[in-house]
Structure 1
C-alpha cells in the first residue's frame, strides 16, 4: 500500500513539475521579447530597519521593541560563510543562471522524492527575493508566472552580489526577525561576523521553514538541519574536515537578546522630539540624503504622521545628550523624594553651555508609554514664575538694583487681595529681600507697575505653549496662578537663560541623526534669543543666590562656585516646585498629585522638591 501511495505522489509531483516547467519556459520565452527596462521601472523597495538611540557616550540605550526587527548589512559585511550556506542549500547554481533554473527544479524534484521530504527548494534565490519583495506567498500558477517575470527583471537590474545581499537582508528568521544580522543578535546576542561556524550554520537553518526550524520552539529540528548543512559545506569544500568535526561537536547555546530598553523616562521625550524633527516642526531633517528608494516611498505618503513613522523605521541612528549616571541619579532622587508624600514628581537636568537635556524623570517609578510629567503635564508654577515674569523684566525695564525698595504690606485692587504666605506685612523692603522670601504683595506691586504687557514681552520669548488670553491681563499671574500652567521642562528651559548670560536656548535631547552608514540627516543647531542684557542677568543670578543662601531654599545651601534658585508653591499646597542652578547646570523639580486639586501632605521639614534637587546635584556631581 505504501509503495502505491508513494508511486502516486511521485506521479503527481512529476506532473506539477512538468506544468510549472512549461509555465517557466513560456515566461522565459516571452521575456525575450520584452524591451530592456530601466532600473526605475521595477520599483526599488526600501526595507524597514530598527532605529537605535545612543547616549552621549555613543552607547545604545534604547531600541524600540515594536514592529519587525531588521538590521540591513552591505554585501561586504556579510560573512562569506553565510553566502556559501544559502547558495549551497537554496540555489547552488545562483551565479550561473539568469533568474530561473529549470535544471535546478528537476534536481530538487529528484532529491526530494528520493528523500521523501523537502530537502531542496525549486525556487532560485532570485525568485525567492522577487516573492519576498513584490508578491504574496500564495501558491498559485499566476503568482508563479509573475515571480518568474520579476526574477528575470531583477537579474537585469542588479548584479548577483546585490541580489544576494538583498535576499539575505530580506529573508525571515522567525520571531519577527528579518535578515541575518538581526537574527544573529536575537538568538546569540552578537553580530553575525562574530559567530562560530556552528552558530552560523545553526541560524542559517531557519529561513528554509521559519516555523519548523524556529530555534526557540523547535530547537532539535534546527539542530538536525544544522548538521546537514555542515555536511553539505564539508562535501562542497567550503569548510575543512577539521572545521566540520569541531562544528559538529560544538554545543549550541542560545543567548536570547533582550533589546536594549533602558531609561524609558528619557526615551519618552526623545521619541517626542524625534517625531517633531521628522514632521518638519523642529530643525531641518535632510530627506535629500535618503536613498532613491526611500525618497520614492516617502513621496507616496500623504500625511505628516505617516511620513514621520516611515522615516523612524529606516534604521536611523539617533544620538542624544543622555548622561546615564545623571539620569539614574535623577530617577532615584524623584523616586525617593516623592515616597513620603505618596505623590508624583518630575525633574529635568539641562547642561547650560551645550544647551542639552541630559536627564529626565517622568514620574515616580515611571513605566514606558505612561504620562511623562516632565514634558506632558502642565501645572501652575507658583512663585517660580516671579523671576521670569516680574523681577527680571522689572530690573531690565527700570534699571532697578537688588537694593531698589518695594512695599510688602497688604495689597488690594478691587476684589483681588493677595496675601503673603505668612499673612504678615513687611513694609518697604529691597527687591532682593522680596524675592528671597517670596513676598507675594511685593511681586504684585512690581508687576502692576511694570504692566502685564511688558512682562509678557519677555515671557513670550520662552515659548510657553499654554498661556491663555486671560493669563495676559490678570495681575494674579505674577504669583503663578495660570489657567493651565507650564511643564517642568518648559520651566527648566526658561531658567537655563540665567545660566547663559541672559540668552535663551530651547534645550534639546537629540544632537544628531544619521543613517546606518553614517550619512548625517539632522544636526542640531540651537537658536539663540537674547532675553535679558548681561547686567540684568548678573543681578538676577545674585538674587537667585540669595534665595538659596538666606531665603526660602536655605535648607539646601551648599558652598558651590555658584548656586541659586527659586521655590514655588500653589494654593492649598497642590504643587511644589524648585528651579535651581549650579555653575554649569539648571535643574527643575516638581511634585504633586495627578488629580490636581489634591493637596500634598505637609509631612516634611522642607519641601521635597528641594531635597530632590539637592540629591540630583550631589549624586550626579553637578557642581
Structure 2
C-alpha cells in the first residue's frame, strides 16, 4: 500500500513539475514583451492588523479580533529562526533568484519523491506573496501567469528583506490567524520573540497546509512536521545538535489566547468614543499621517461605517485612561451594592485634574456588547439636578449666600403642588439647610424666581443629550422630573465642574491614538467652558460638603481633605442616585430597574448608591 501511495505521489509531483515549469516558461517569455513597469504601477498594499488597547500604565488590556487576527512585525522584529525556517522549507534559494525559480520546481519534485509526500512547494516565497496580496488561490493557467508577472515586479519594487517581511506577515496560520505574531499569541499566548526553538518550529509548520497542520484539530500532524523541520534546521547548521536534541524532547503544550475582555464595561465606552473620533465627531484624527496606501484605501470607502472598520484594522494603538485597580473596585462595588435590592446599577469615576474617565461600571455582572448603563441608560436624576439647575445659578444670578433664606412650606401653582419628602413644612430656612436636607418646595420656589430660561443657560453648557422642549418650561424639572433624563456619565461629568473651579471639561476615556511606529494620529485636547464663577463654585462646594456632614448623605461622612455630594430619588423610589466629590475625584452612582416603573425595595438602612460610592472611594483610595 505504501509503495502504491508513493507511486501516486510521484506521478502527481511530476505533473506539478511539468505544468508549473511550462507555465513559468510561458509567463517568463511573455514578460519579456511587456513594457517595463514603473515601481508605482504595482499598488502598495496596506496589511490589515488588529488594534491594541492600552490602560493608563501603557499595558495592553484588549486586542479585539474583528474577523481575521493580524499583528504585523517589522523585519527587525521577526526572529531570525522564523526566517530560517521558511527559507529552508519553502524557498531555499530565496536570496539568489529573481522571483521565480525553475530549478526550484525540479528540486521540489525530487524532495517530494524522496519523502513520498508534498514537503516542498514549487512556488517561491515571492510567488506566494503575489497570491496573498493581489490574487486568488484559483489554480488556473491565467492566474499562474499573472502570479509570475507580479512576482517579477515585486522583486524590482522591494528588497528581499521587505518581501520576506510581508510574506511572514501575510501567510495563514489557521483559525483566522495571519502572520507569525498573531499565531504565536493565539497558540502559545506569547510573542514570537519569546517562543522556544521547539515552539517556533511547531508554529511554523502550519502555513504549509493550514488544514492538515491545524494544531487545534490535527496536533499530531503538526508535531510530526515540526520534527522534520527541526531536522532540516540541524542539517543546515541553523541550530546545533544540542539545541536539536533539547527541542525534540520539549513537550508542546498549547496555551490558547481566548482574548477575554477583562474590562468589558470600560472597553464598551472606549469603543464608542473611538468610533466618534474616527468619524470626526470628537477631536481631530489626522488621516494625513497615515501611509499613502492607507490614505488611498480610505478614499475608496463610501460610508463612515466602512471607514471606521477599515481604520480599526490598521494596527492602531489606543492609549486610554483606564485605571485597572479602580475599575475592578468600581465593578465589584456595583455588583455587591445591588444584590440586596436585586436591581441594576452603574458607577463612573472621573479624575478631576486630568479630565479622564478612569473607571465605569455598565451594570451588575455586565456582559460584553450589552447595554452599558453607565453611559447608554438615561434616567430622571431626581434631586441631584438641584445644585446644577437651581442652587448654583441662583447664587450666581442673585449674589446669594448659603445663609440666604427661602421658604420651605407647602407650594402650589395651579395643579402643580410638590411636597417635601417628609410631607412636612419647615418655614424659612437657609439655602444651606434647604439643599442639605433636599427640601423640594424650597428648590421649586428658587427655580421659579430664577426662571427656567436662566437655569438652562447654565446647564446647557454640560451638553445633556436628552433634554426636550417641554423640559425647558416645566417647574418640576427643578426636582429632576425630566421627560427622559441623564446618564450616570453625563451627571458625573457635570458634577466634576465643582472639582475644577467652576469650569466644565469634556472628559474622555481615550488619551492618544498612534500607528504602530509611534506616529500620533490623535491627541486628546479637552474642550472647556466656564459654567460658574470661582466664588459661586466655592460656595457650592461648601454646601455640598454640608449634605455629607449633616444632611441626606451623613451616613457616609469620612474625615477626608474634602468630601461633598448630593443625593437623588425619583417618584415611587424608582431611581436612586448619589453624586459625590473628593479632593481629586468625582464619582457618580445610580441604581434602579431596567423596567423603569418598578420601585426599588426599601430594605436598606441608607441608600445603596451611597454605600457603593463609599466602597469605591475607600477601596480605590480615591481621596
Shared fold (TM-score greater than 0.5)? yes
Shift, 1:85, TM fit: 0.7
Q: Conserved in 2, the CA contact under 8 Å of 1:322 and 1:509?
A: yes
1:61-97 CA distance string (max 9 Å, x none) = 1221442211111001111111111011001111111
Shift, 1:328, TM fit: 1.1
Shift, 1:4, TM fit: 8.3
Q: 5+ residue gaps in structure 2?
A: none
Bigger mean CA deviation after superposition, 183-192 or 306-315? 183-192
1:484-516 CA distance string (max 9 Å, x none) = 000000000000000000000011111111112
1:274-306 CA distance string (max 9 Å, x none) = 111111111111111111221111111111111
Which structure 2 residues correspond to residues 583-598 of structure 1 after superposition, within 5 A? 583-598=583-598
Shift, 1:39, TM fit: 3.1
Q: Conserved in 2, the CA contact under 8 Å of 1:60 and 1:260?
A: no
- Find the aligned partners of 1:3 and 1:617 in 2 and give their Cα distance: 76
- Find the aligned partners of 2:538 and 2:263 in 1 and give their Cα distance: 36
Shift, 1:251, TM fit: 2.2
Shift, 1:16, TM fit: 4.7
- Find the aligned partners of 1:395 and 1:113 in 2 and give their Cα distance: 92
Shift, 1:260, TM fit: 5.0
- Tell me, yes or no, if structure 1 residue 12 matches structure 2 residue 39: no
- Find the aligned partners of 1:502 and 1:232 in 2 and give their Cα distance: 71
1:189-230 CA distance string (max 9 Å, x none) = 221112222221111111101111111222211111111111
Bigger mean CA deviation after superposition, 584-593 or 56-65? 56-65
Q: Conserved in 2, the CA contact under 8 Å of 1:575 and 1:591?
A: yes
- Find the aligned partners of 2:482 and 2:410 in 1 and give their Cα distance: 22
Shift, 1:353, TM fit: 0.6
Q: Conserved in 2, the CA contact under 8 Å of 1:444 and 1:475?
A: yes
SS of 2:347's partner is strand
Q: Conserved in 1, the CA contact under 8 Å of 2:326 and 2:359?
A: yes
Match for residue 493 of structure 2?
493
Q: CA, structure 1 residues 245+26, in 2 after alignment: closer, same or farther (shift >3 Å)?
A: same
Q: Conserved in 2, the CA contact under 8 Å of 1:374 and 1:488?
A: yes
- Find the aligned partners of 2:15 and 2:93 in 1 and give their Cα distance: 24
- Tell me, yes or no, if structure 1 residue 413 matches structure 2 residue 379: no
- Find the aligned partners of 2:582 and 2:12 in 1 and give their Cα distance: 82
Q: Conserved in 1, the CA contact under 8 Å of 2:20 and 2:105?
A: no
Q: CA, structure 1 residues 2+198, in 2 after alignment: closer, same or farther (shift >3 Å)?
A: closer
- Find the aligned partners of 1:549 and 1:196 in 2 and give their Cα distance: 61
Q: CA, structure 1 residues 15+260, in 2 after alignment: closer, same or farther (shift >3 Å)?
A: closer
- Find the aligned partners of 1:555 and 1:371 in 2 and give their Cα distance: 31
- Find the aligned partners of 1:21 and 1:121 in 2 and give their Cα distance: 13
- Find the aligned partners of 1:620 and 1:243 in 2 and give their Cα distance: 49
Bigger mean CA deviation after superposition, 482-491 or 295-304? 295-304
Shift, 1:332, TM fit: 1.0
Q: Conserved in 1, the CA contact under 8 Å of 2:505 and 2:529?
A: yes
Bigger mean CA deviation after superposition, 421-430 or 244-253? 244-253
Match for residue 197 of structure 2?
197
Q: CA, structure 1 residues 537+181, in 2 after alignment: closer, same or farther (shift >3 Å)?
A: same
Q: CA, structure 1 residues 5+346, in 2 after alignment: closer, same or farther (shift >3 Å)?
A: closer
SS of 1:378's partner is coil
Q: CA, structure 1 residues 406+4, in 2 after alignment: closer, same or farther (shift >3 Å)?
A: closer
Cα RMSD, aligned residues only = 1.6
Bigger mean CA deviation after superposition, 168-177 or 240-249? 240-249
SS of 1:349's partner is strand
Shift, 1:30, TM fit: 1.8
Q: CA, structure 1 residues 12+272, in 2 after alignment: closer, same or farther (shift >3 Å)?
A: closer
Shift, 1:320, TM fit: 1.0
- Find the aligned partners of 1:319 and 1:11 in 2 and give their Cα distance: 57
Q: Conserved in 1, the CA contact under 8 Å of 2:13 and 2:112?
A: no
Q: 5+ residue gaps in structure 1?
A: none
- Tell me, yes or no, if structure 1 residue 339 matches structure 2 residue 339: yes
SS of 2:472's partner is coil
1:595-619 CA distance string (max 9 Å, x none) = 0010111111111111111111111
Shift, 1:249, TM fit: 2.2
Bigger mean CA deviation after superposition, 60-69 or 466-475? 60-69
- Tell me, yes or no, if structure 1 residue 321 matches structure 2 residue 328: no
- Find the aligned partners of 2:65 and 2:607 in 1 and give their Cα distance: 38
Q: CA, structure 1 residues 118+426, in 2 after alignment: closer, same or farther (shift >3 Å)?
A: same
Q: Conserved in 2, the CA contact under 8 Å of 1:50 and 1:63?
A: yes
1:85-143 CA distance string (max 9 Å, x none) = 10110011111111111111121122223332111101110111111111111222222
SS of 2:83's partner is helix
In the comparison of the two structures, how many residue pairs are matched? Answer: 623
1:317-342 CA distance string (max 9 Å, x none) = 11111111111111111111110100
Bigger mean CA deviation after superposition, 265-274 or 493-502? 265-274
- Find the aligned partners of 1:288 and 1:38 in 2 and give their Cα distance: 25
SS of 1:116's partner is coil
Q: Conserved in 2, the CA contact under 8 Å of 1:61 and 1:260?
A: no
Q: CA, structure 1 residues 26+479, in 2 after alignment: closer, same or farther (shift >3 Å)?
A: same
- Tell me, yes or no, if structure 1 residue 353 matches structure 2 residue 353: yes
Shift, 1:9, TM fit: 6.4
SS of 2:587's partner is strand
Q: CA, structure 1 residues 515+4, in 2 after alignment: closer, same or farther (shift >3 Å)?
A: closer
SS of 1:393's partner is helix
Instruction: Tell me the TM-score normalized by structure 2.
Output: 0.97
Bigger mean CA deviation after superposition, 147-156 or 34-43? 34-43
1:444-467 CA distance string (max 9 Å, x none) = 111111111111100000000010
Bigger mean CA deviation after superposition, 328-337 or 586-595? 328-337
Match for residue 93 of structure 1?
93
1:28-55 CA distance string (max 9 Å, x none) = 1222232332333222221221111111
- Find the aligned partners of 2:237 and 2:383 in 1 and give their Cα distance: 79
- Find the aligned partners of 2:252 and 2:14 in 1 and give their Cα distance: 39
1:423-454 CA distance string (max 9 Å, x none) = 11111111111111111111111111111111
Q: Conserved in 2, the CA contact under 8 Å of 1:63 and 1:260?
A: no
